[in-house]
Amino acid sequence: MSDKKKIKVIGAGLAGCEAAWQLANMGIEVELFEMKPKKFSPAHKSPDFAELVCSNSFRADGIYNAVGLLKEEMRKLGSLIMECADAVKVPAGGALAVDRDAFAKMVTDKIKSHPNISVIEEEVTQINTDEYTVIAAGPLASEGIAESILSLTGDTSLHFFDAAAPIVTFESIDMSKAFKAARYGKGGDDYINCPMNKEEYLAFREELVNAEAAQVHEGVENPKVFEGCMPIEIMAARGIDTMRYGPLKPVGLTNPHDQSRPYAVVQLRQDNGAGSMYNIVGFQTHLKFGEQKRVFGMIPGLENAEFVRYGVMHRNTYINSPELLTDKYNMKEFPKIYFAGQITGVEGYIESASSGLWAGVCAGCAVLEKPVSELTAKTAMGALAKYVSNPAVTDFQPMNVNFGIFEDLGVRIKDKREKAEKYAQRSFEELERVFE
Protein backbone atom coordinates (compact mmCIF):
# COMPACT_ATOMS: atom_id res chain seq x y z
CA MET A 1 0.00 0.00 0.00
CA SER A 2 1.33 3.45 -0.96
CA ASP A 3 2.41 5.76 1.83
CA LYS A 4 2.09 8.82 -0.41
CA LYS A 5 -0.15 11.69 0.62
CA LYS A 6 -3.45 11.91 -1.26
CA ILE A 7 -5.74 14.67 -2.47
CA LYS A 8 -8.92 14.96 -4.56
CA VAL A 9 -9.31 17.31 -7.51
CA ILE A 10 -12.82 17.82 -8.85
CA GLY A 11 -13.04 18.81 -12.51
CA ALA A 12 -10.64 18.25 -15.42
CA GLY A 13 -10.86 21.65 -17.03
CA LEU A 14 -7.81 23.86 -17.34
CA ALA A 15 -7.71 24.75 -13.64
CA GLY A 16 -8.29 21.19 -12.45
CA CYS A 17 -5.69 19.71 -14.79
CA GLU A 18 -3.14 22.34 -13.80
CA ALA A 19 -3.78 21.75 -10.09
CA ALA A 20 -3.58 17.98 -10.53
CA TRP A 21 -0.31 18.32 -12.48
CA GLN A 22 1.34 20.49 -9.84
CA LEU A 23 0.21 18.18 -7.02
CA ALA A 24 1.33 15.04 -8.83
CA ASN A 25 4.75 16.55 -9.52
CA MET A 26 5.08 17.20 -5.79
CA GLY A 27 4.80 13.45 -5.22
CA ILE A 28 1.18 13.50 -4.07
CA GLU A 29 -1.32 10.91 -5.25
CA VAL A 30 -4.16 12.70 -7.03
CA GLU A 31 -7.68 11.41 -7.61
CA LEU A 32 -8.98 13.53 -10.49
CA PHE A 33 -12.77 13.36 -10.77
CA GLU A 34 -14.36 14.25 -14.12
CA MET A 35 -17.98 13.57 -15.05
CA LYS A 36 -17.23 13.44 -18.80
CA PRO A 37 -17.82 11.40 -20.90
CA LYS A 38 -20.78 10.10 -18.88
CA LYS A 39 -22.23 13.60 -18.51
CA PHE A 40 -21.58 16.89 -20.31
CA SER A 41 -22.22 20.53 -19.42
CA PRO A 42 -24.24 22.64 -21.93
CA ALA A 43 -21.05 24.16 -23.43
CA HIS A 44 -18.85 21.06 -23.68
CA LYS A 45 -18.86 18.43 -26.42
CA SER A 46 -15.50 16.63 -26.32
CA PRO A 47 -14.61 13.79 -23.91
CA ASP A 48 -11.10 15.25 -23.64
CA PHE A 49 -9.94 17.36 -20.71
CA ALA A 50 -9.25 21.12 -20.81
CA GLU A 51 -11.79 21.68 -23.57
CA LEU A 52 -11.72 25.19 -25.09
CA VAL A 53 -14.52 27.23 -26.62
CA CYS A 54 -12.46 29.30 -29.09
CA SER A 55 -8.99 29.19 -30.61
CA ASN A 56 -7.71 32.49 -29.24
CA SER A 57 -8.40 31.49 -25.69
CA PHE A 58 -4.98 32.57 -24.44
CA ARG A 59 -5.01 36.12 -25.82
CA ALA A 60 -1.95 38.39 -26.17
CA ASP A 61 1.52 36.91 -25.76
CA GLY A 62 4.71 38.59 -24.54
CA ILE A 63 5.43 40.43 -21.30
CA TYR A 64 4.14 43.82 -22.41
CA ASN A 65 0.61 43.24 -21.11
CA ALA A 66 -0.69 41.62 -17.96
CA VAL A 67 -2.01 38.39 -19.50
CA GLY A 68 1.23 37.91 -21.42
CA LEU A 69 3.19 38.32 -18.20
CA LEU A 70 0.89 35.85 -16.47
CA LYS A 71 1.64 33.28 -19.16
CA GLU A 72 5.37 33.82 -18.78
CA GLU A 73 5.10 33.36 -15.00
CA MET A 74 3.29 30.08 -15.58
CA ARG A 75 5.94 28.89 -18.03
CA LYS A 76 8.61 29.56 -15.44
CA LEU A 77 6.69 27.48 -12.90
CA GLY A 78 6.31 24.41 -15.11
CA SER A 79 2.71 24.92 -16.18
CA LEU A 80 1.13 21.97 -17.98
CA ILE A 81 -1.34 24.27 -19.73
CA MET A 82 1.36 26.53 -21.13
CA GLU A 83 3.52 23.59 -22.22
CA CYS A 84 0.64 22.16 -24.22
CA ALA A 85 -0.51 25.52 -25.58
CA ASP A 86 2.95 26.40 -26.84
CA ALA A 87 3.23 22.99 -28.51
CA VAL A 88 0.02 23.34 -30.58
CA LYS A 89 -0.16 27.08 -31.28
CA VAL A 90 -1.52 28.39 -34.57
CA PRO A 91 -0.82 31.74 -36.33
CA ALA A 92 -2.54 34.68 -34.59
CA GLY A 93 -0.32 37.73 -34.87
CA GLY A 94 0.74 38.84 -31.39
CA ALA A 95 -1.68 36.48 -29.67
CA LEU A 96 -1.28 32.89 -28.50
CA ALA A 97 -3.95 30.85 -30.23
CA VAL A 98 -4.08 27.07 -30.27
CA ASP A 99 -5.56 24.15 -32.15
CA ARG A 100 -8.34 23.41 -29.68
CA ASP A 101 -8.63 19.68 -30.35
CA ALA A 102 -4.88 19.07 -30.35
CA PHE A 103 -4.54 21.09 -27.15
CA ALA A 104 -7.23 19.14 -25.29
CA LYS A 105 -5.83 15.81 -26.49
CA MET A 106 -2.31 16.67 -25.37
CA VAL A 107 -3.46 17.77 -21.91
CA THR A 108 -5.58 14.63 -21.58
CA ASP A 109 -2.76 12.32 -22.62
CA LYS A 110 -0.29 13.92 -20.18
CA ILE A 111 -2.72 13.79 -17.28
CA LYS A 112 -3.73 10.18 -17.90
CA SER A 113 -0.13 9.02 -18.28
CA HIS A 114 1.14 10.63 -15.06
CA PRO A 115 1.88 7.85 -12.54
CA ASN A 116 0.58 9.91 -9.60
CA ILE A 117 -2.80 10.76 -11.16
CA SER A 118 -5.82 8.46 -11.15
CA VAL A 119 -8.75 9.64 -13.29
CA ILE A 120 -12.19 8.74 -11.93
CA GLU A 121 -15.01 9.25 -14.43
CA GLU A 122 -17.93 10.12 -12.21
CA GLU A 123 -19.85 13.15 -11.02
CA VAL A 124 -19.08 14.32 -7.50
CA THR A 125 -22.12 15.31 -5.47
CA GLN A 126 -20.69 15.36 -1.94
CA ILE A 127 -17.74 17.25 -0.46
CA ASN A 128 -15.99 16.06 2.69
CA THR A 129 -14.54 19.07 4.50
CA ASP A 130 -12.12 16.80 6.39
CA GLU A 131 -10.39 15.72 3.15
CA TYR A 132 -7.97 17.86 1.19
CA THR A 133 -9.88 18.75 -1.98
CA VAL A 134 -9.44 21.16 -4.89
CA ILE A 135 -12.79 22.10 -6.40
CA ALA A 136 -12.29 23.13 -10.03
CA ALA A 137 -15.78 22.28 -11.20
CA GLY A 138 -15.87 25.24 -13.56
CA PRO A 139 -18.41 27.99 -14.11
CA LEU A 140 -20.86 25.40 -15.49
CA ALA A 141 -20.73 23.20 -12.41
CA SER A 142 -23.25 20.36 -12.51
CA GLU A 143 -26.33 20.56 -10.33
CA GLY A 144 -25.00 17.91 -7.95
CA ILE A 145 -21.69 19.57 -7.16
CA ALA A 146 -23.29 23.04 -7.25
CA GLU A 147 -25.65 22.04 -4.44
CA SER A 148 -22.71 20.75 -2.40
CA ILE A 149 -20.86 24.01 -2.99
CA LEU A 150 -23.90 25.98 -1.87
CA SER A 151 -24.06 23.95 1.31
CA LEU A 152 -20.44 24.97 2.00
CA THR A 153 -20.71 28.60 1.01
CA GLY A 154 -24.24 29.48 2.03
CA ASP A 155 -26.36 31.74 -0.10
CA THR A 156 -23.37 33.50 -1.65
CA SER A 157 -23.36 32.08 -5.17
CA LEU A 158 -23.46 34.65 -7.96
CA HIS A 159 -23.77 34.33 -11.71
CA PHE A 160 -23.33 36.06 -15.05
CA PHE A 161 -23.92 35.04 -18.64
CA ASP A 162 -21.06 34.23 -20.98
CA ALA A 163 -21.16 33.94 -24.78
CA ALA A 164 -19.13 32.15 -27.47
CA ALA A 165 -18.52 33.20 -31.09
CA PRO A 166 -19.48 31.20 -34.19
CA ILE A 167 -17.01 29.33 -36.41
CA VAL A 168 -17.16 29.04 -40.24
CA THR A 169 -15.26 26.97 -42.77
CA PHE A 170 -12.42 28.61 -44.69
CA GLU A 171 -13.57 27.27 -48.04
CA SER A 172 -16.95 29.00 -47.65
CA ILE A 173 -15.41 32.48 -47.22
CA ASP A 174 -15.47 34.59 -50.39
CA MET A 175 -11.85 35.75 -50.63
CA SER A 176 -12.67 37.96 -53.62
CA LYS A 177 -14.23 40.26 -51.02
CA ALA A 178 -12.25 39.33 -47.90
CA PHE A 179 -8.48 39.54 -47.54
CA LYS A 180 -5.72 38.25 -45.27
CA ALA A 181 -3.79 40.72 -43.12
CA ALA A 182 -3.02 41.69 -39.56
CA ARG A 183 -3.51 45.23 -38.28
CA TYR A 184 -0.42 47.36 -38.93
CA GLY A 185 1.23 44.27 -40.44
CA LYS A 186 1.83 42.66 -37.04
CA GLY A 187 2.17 38.88 -37.29
CA GLY A 188 1.83 38.52 -41.05
CA ASP A 189 -1.40 37.54 -42.77
CA ASP A 190 -2.85 35.81 -39.73
CA TYR A 191 -6.42 37.16 -39.95
CA ILE A 192 -9.08 37.10 -42.62
CA ASN A 193 -10.68 40.53 -42.90
CA CYS A 194 -14.16 41.29 -44.19
CA PRO A 195 -14.32 45.02 -45.04
CA MET A 196 -17.52 47.10 -44.87
CA ASN A 197 -18.36 50.49 -46.29
CA LYS A 198 -20.58 52.83 -44.30
CA GLU A 199 -23.83 51.75 -45.94
CA GLU A 200 -23.05 48.04 -45.41
CA TYR A 201 -22.11 48.66 -41.79
CA LEU A 202 -25.25 50.64 -40.95
CA ALA A 203 -27.51 48.07 -42.62
CA PHE A 204 -25.75 45.24 -40.79
CA ARG A 205 -26.04 47.01 -37.43
CA GLU A 206 -29.76 47.69 -37.98
CA GLU A 207 -30.50 44.00 -38.64
CA LEU A 208 -28.24 42.90 -35.78
CA VAL A 209 -29.97 45.11 -33.22
CA ASN A 210 -33.40 43.89 -34.28
CA ALA A 211 -32.57 40.18 -34.69
CA GLU A 212 -34.32 37.61 -32.52
CA ALA A 213 -32.38 36.32 -29.53
CA ALA A 214 -32.51 32.77 -28.23
CA GLN A 215 -33.86 31.99 -24.77
CA VAL A 216 -30.90 32.43 -22.42
CA HIS A 217 -32.12 30.79 -19.25
CA GLU A 218 -35.59 29.84 -18.20
CA GLY A 219 -37.22 32.38 -15.91
CA VAL A 220 -34.39 34.91 -16.13
CA GLU A 221 -34.87 38.44 -17.43
CA ASN A 222 -32.17 41.04 -18.11
CA PRO A 223 -29.26 38.64 -17.56
CA LYS A 224 -26.03 40.14 -16.26
CA VAL A 225 -23.37 39.88 -18.96
CA PHE A 226 -19.62 39.91 -18.34
CA GLU A 227 -18.27 43.00 -20.09
CA GLY A 228 -15.21 41.17 -21.44
CA CYS A 229 -17.40 38.73 -23.39
CA MET A 230 -20.15 41.09 -24.59
CA PRO A 231 -22.60 39.60 -27.13
CA ILE A 232 -22.19 41.46 -30.40
CA GLU A 233 -25.89 42.36 -30.60
CA ILE A 234 -25.77 44.00 -27.16
CA MET A 235 -22.64 45.89 -28.17
CA ALA A 236 -24.38 47.08 -31.35
CA ALA A 237 -27.37 48.32 -29.36
CA ARG A 238 -25.15 50.53 -27.19
CA GLY A 239 -24.44 52.97 -30.02
CA ILE A 240 -24.00 53.33 -33.76
CA ASP A 241 -20.20 53.30 -33.57
CA THR A 242 -19.67 51.05 -30.55
CA MET A 243 -18.67 48.05 -32.69
CA ARG A 244 -16.30 50.27 -34.72
CA TYR A 245 -14.41 51.06 -31.54
CA GLY A 246 -14.44 47.37 -30.60
CA PRO A 247 -14.08 44.20 -32.69
CA LEU A 248 -15.00 45.95 -35.97
CA LYS A 249 -12.42 48.74 -35.69
CA PRO A 250 -10.98 49.45 -39.15
CA VAL A 251 -7.65 50.94 -38.08
CA GLY A 252 -4.36 49.58 -39.41
CA LEU A 253 -5.91 47.86 -42.44
CA THR A 254 -6.11 48.63 -46.15
CA ASN A 255 -8.30 46.65 -48.53
CA PRO A 256 -5.88 45.28 -51.18
CA HIS A 257 -8.75 44.73 -53.64
CA ASP A 258 -9.23 48.47 -54.17
CA GLN A 259 -6.65 50.11 -51.83
CA SER A 260 -9.47 51.69 -49.79
CA ARG A 261 -9.63 52.20 -46.04
CA PRO A 262 -12.69 50.24 -44.80
CA TYR A 263 -15.34 51.93 -42.67
CA ALA A 264 -15.51 48.79 -40.50
CA VAL A 265 -13.83 45.39 -40.59
CA VAL A 266 -14.97 42.00 -39.31
CA GLN A 267 -11.97 39.79 -38.56
CA LEU A 268 -11.79 36.01 -38.57
CA ARG A 269 -9.09 34.06 -36.75
CA GLN A 270 -7.76 30.60 -37.56
CA ASP A 271 -9.37 28.04 -35.24
CA ASN A 272 -7.48 24.83 -35.99
CA GLY A 273 -4.04 23.72 -37.11
CA ALA A 274 -5.22 22.77 -40.58
CA GLY A 275 -6.59 26.26 -41.22
CA SER A 276 -9.94 24.84 -42.32
CA MET A 277 -12.02 26.66 -39.69
CA TYR A 278 -12.15 30.32 -38.68
CA ASN A 279 -13.64 32.01 -35.60
CA ILE A 280 -15.50 35.32 -36.11
CA VAL A 281 -13.56 37.55 -33.71
CA GLY A 282 -15.64 39.31 -31.06
CA PHE A 283 -18.94 37.84 -32.30
CA GLN A 284 -20.05 36.19 -29.08
CA THR A 285 -23.82 36.01 -29.40
CA HIS A 286 -27.05 34.52 -28.18
CA LEU A 287 -29.06 35.12 -31.35
CA LYS A 288 -31.12 32.23 -32.66
CA PHE A 289 -29.16 30.05 -35.05
CA GLY A 290 -31.28 31.02 -38.06
CA GLU A 291 -30.83 34.68 -37.24
CA GLN A 292 -27.06 34.24 -36.99
CA LYS A 293 -26.93 32.74 -40.48
CA ARG A 294 -29.16 35.50 -41.88
CA VAL A 295 -27.57 38.54 -40.22
CA PHE A 296 -23.93 37.40 -40.29
CA GLY A 297 -24.49 36.53 -43.95
CA MET A 298 -24.71 40.30 -44.57
CA ILE A 299 -20.98 40.58 -43.83
CA PRO A 300 -19.06 40.92 -47.13
CA GLY A 301 -17.34 37.61 -47.80
CA LEU A 302 -19.63 35.61 -45.52
CA GLU A 303 -22.74 35.61 -47.73
CA ASN A 304 -22.46 31.84 -48.22
CA ALA A 305 -20.55 30.99 -45.05
CA GLU A 306 -20.85 27.45 -43.74
CA PHE A 307 -21.22 27.52 -39.95
CA VAL A 308 -19.61 24.57 -38.19
CA ARG A 309 -20.62 26.06 -34.85
CA TYR A 310 -23.12 28.79 -34.10
CA GLY A 311 -22.63 31.20 -31.24
CA VAL A 312 -24.08 30.15 -27.90
CA MET A 313 -24.70 31.74 -24.53
CA HIS A 314 -24.63 29.96 -21.21
CA ARG A 315 -24.86 30.59 -17.51
CA ASN A 316 -21.59 30.90 -15.60
CA THR A 317 -21.55 30.55 -11.83
CA TYR A 318 -18.97 31.89 -9.41
CA ILE A 319 -18.74 32.12 -5.65
CA ASN A 320 -18.37 35.24 -3.53
CA SER A 321 -14.66 34.62 -3.08
CA PRO A 322 -13.78 37.75 -1.04
CA GLU A 323 -16.02 36.47 1.74
CA LEU A 324 -15.05 32.83 1.41
CA LEU A 325 -11.42 32.38 0.31
CA THR A 326 -7.88 33.22 1.40
CA ASP A 327 -5.22 34.30 -1.08
CA LYS A 328 -4.16 30.64 -1.31
CA TYR A 329 -7.62 29.82 -2.73
CA ASN A 330 -8.69 27.74 0.27
CA MET A 331 -11.79 28.41 2.34
CA LYS A 332 -11.49 30.45 5.52
CA GLU A 333 -14.05 28.24 7.29
CA PHE A 334 -12.93 24.89 5.82
CA PRO A 335 -9.18 25.29 5.13
CA LYS A 336 -8.77 21.84 3.53
CA ILE A 337 -11.15 22.87 0.74
CA TYR A 338 -9.56 24.78 -2.15
CA PHE A 339 -11.25 26.35 -5.16
CA ALA A 340 -9.68 26.99 -8.57
CA GLY A 341 -10.78 28.32 -11.95
CA GLN A 342 -13.55 30.61 -13.07
CA ILE A 343 -15.79 29.55 -10.21
CA THR A 344 -13.54 31.73 -8.01
CA GLY A 345 -14.19 34.85 -10.11
CA VAL A 346 -10.97 34.88 -12.11
CA GLU A 347 -12.08 35.40 -15.70
CA GLY A 348 -10.42 33.80 -18.71
CA TYR A 349 -8.77 30.48 -19.50
CA ILE A 350 -5.26 31.59 -18.62
CA GLU A 351 -6.39 33.18 -15.38
CA SER A 352 -8.27 29.97 -14.51
CA ALA A 353 -5.23 27.81 -15.20
CA SER A 354 -3.03 30.12 -13.12
CA SER A 355 -5.40 29.84 -10.15
CA GLY A 356 -5.23 26.06 -10.52
CA LEU A 357 -1.45 26.22 -10.48
CA TRP A 358 -1.27 28.32 -7.31
CA ALA A 359 -4.11 26.43 -5.58
CA GLY A 360 -2.34 23.18 -6.41
CA VAL A 361 0.97 24.40 -5.01
CA CYS A 362 -0.67 25.70 -1.82
CA ALA A 363 -2.77 22.58 -1.33
CA GLY A 364 0.27 20.40 -1.94
CA CYS A 365 2.32 22.24 0.66
CA ALA A 366 -0.53 21.88 3.14
CA VAL A 367 -0.85 18.14 2.47
CA LEU A 368 2.90 17.68 2.84
CA GLU A 369 2.93 19.95 5.90
CA LYS A 370 5.42 22.28 4.28
CA PRO A 371 5.39 26.07 4.58
CA VAL A 372 4.44 28.12 1.54
CA SER A 373 5.53 31.72 1.09
CA GLU A 374 3.03 34.48 0.40
CA LEU A 375 2.63 35.27 -3.29
CA THR A 376 2.19 39.01 -3.42
CA ALA A 377 0.49 41.27 -5.97
CA LYS A 378 3.93 42.00 -7.42
CA THR A 379 3.17 39.02 -9.69
CA ALA A 380 0.23 38.53 -12.04
CA MET A 381 -0.67 35.24 -10.39
CA GLY A 382 -0.51 36.78 -6.92
CA ALA A 383 -2.48 39.85 -8.00
CA LEU A 384 -5.37 37.64 -9.11
CA ALA A 385 -5.28 35.66 -5.88
CA LYS A 386 -5.27 38.90 -3.86
CA TYR A 387 -8.15 40.34 -5.90
CA VAL A 388 -10.53 37.41 -5.44
CA SER A 389 -9.73 37.13 -1.72
CA ASN A 390 -9.84 40.83 -0.82
CA PRO A 391 -12.66 41.36 1.70
CA ALA A 392 -12.64 45.08 0.88
CA VAL A 393 -13.93 44.39 -2.64
CA THR A 394 -17.59 45.36 -2.90
CA ASP A 395 -19.98 44.22 -5.64
CA PHE A 396 -17.56 41.42 -6.57
CA GLN A 397 -17.35 40.79 -10.33
CA PRO A 398 -15.24 38.40 -12.47
CA MET A 399 -11.88 39.91 -13.36
CA ASN A 400 -9.33 39.36 -16.11
CA VAL A 401 -5.72 39.94 -15.10
CA ASN A 402 -4.63 43.55 -15.61
CA PHE A 403 -1.90 45.83 -14.30
CA GLY A 404 -4.51 47.76 -12.32
CA ILE A 405 -4.71 44.98 -9.71
CA PHE A 406 -0.89 44.73 -9.33
CA GLU A 407 0.95 46.29 -6.44
CA ASP A 408 2.01 49.78 -7.52
CA LEU A 409 5.57 50.14 -8.81
CA GLY A 410 6.15 53.15 -6.60
CA VAL A 411 7.56 55.23 -9.47
CA ARG A 412 5.92 57.10 -12.34
CA ILE A 413 6.82 55.67 -15.75
CA LYS A 414 5.11 57.20 -18.77
CA ASP A 415 6.41 54.80 -21.40
CA LYS A 416 4.07 51.79 -21.42
CA ARG A 417 6.67 49.37 -22.71
CA GLU A 418 9.21 50.42 -20.10
CA LYS A 419 6.55 50.20 -17.41
CA ALA A 420 5.60 46.67 -18.48
CA GLU A 421 9.26 45.66 -18.39
CA LYS A 422 9.48 46.92 -14.79
CA TYR A 423 6.42 44.90 -13.85
CA ALA A 424 7.94 41.81 -15.46
CA GLN A 425 11.36 42.24 -13.83
CA ARG A 426 9.78 42.66 -10.41
CA SER A 427 7.49 39.68 -10.99
CA PHE A 428 10.32 37.31 -11.89
CA GLU A 429 12.32 38.40 -8.84
CA GLU A 430 9.28 37.73 -6.67
CA LEU A 431 8.81 34.25 -8.17
CA GLU A 432 12.44 33.40 -7.41
CA ARG A 433 11.87 34.42 -3.80
CA VAL A 434 8.70 32.34 -3.39
CA PHE A 435 9.84 29.27 -5.30
CA GLU A 436 13.52 29.16 -4.36
Residues 268-306 have pLDDT tens digits of 999 878 888 899 999 999 899 999 999 999 999 999 999
Residues 97, 3 contacting (CB under 8 angstroms): no
Contacts made by residues 206-213, CB under 8 angstroms, sequence distance 24+: 207/294, 207/295, 207/298, 208/232, 208/233, 208/236, 208/295, 209/233, 209/236, 209/237, 211/287, 211/288, 211/291, 211/294, 211/295, 212/287, 212/288, 212/291, 213/286, 213/287, 213/288, 213/291
Mean pLDDT throughout 385-392? 93
The arithmetic mean of pLDDT across residues 142-152, rounded, is: 80
Q: Are residues 357 and 388 in the same domain?
A: yes
Residue finishing a domain among 280, 313, 346: 313
pLDDT value of position 221 = 42
Chosen domain end from 266, 285, 313 = 313
H/E element holding 381?
Answer: helix 380-388
107 and 147 share one domain: yes
Residues 300 and 328 occupy one common structural domain: no
* 8 A C-beta contact, residue 94 and residue 61: yes
Say how many domains are in the chain: 2
Range 92-111 average pLDDT: 92
Q: Are residues 353 and 237 in the same domain?
A: no
Determine the structural domain holding residue 124 and report its residue range.
6-156+320-434
Please name the residues in contact with 54: beta carbons below 8 A apart, sequence gap of 6 or more: 100, 164, 165, 167, 271, 279
Residue 213 lies in a domain: yes
CA separation for the pair 395, 392 (Å, rounded): 10
Domain identity same for 127 and 56: yes
- Let me know how many helices (H) and strands (E) the chain has, helices first: 12, 15
67 and 11, same structural domain?
A: yes
Mark whether 89 and 168 lie in a shared domain: no
User: Which residues are 191's β-sheet partners?
Assistant: 269
**CATH code, domain with 196:** 2.40.30.260
Residue-wise pLDDT tens digits, 321-332: 999 999 999 999
Find the CATH number of the domain harbouring 11.
3.50.50.60
24-50 average pLDDT score: 84
Distance of CA 343 to the CA centre of its chain: 12
Within a domain: residue 1? no
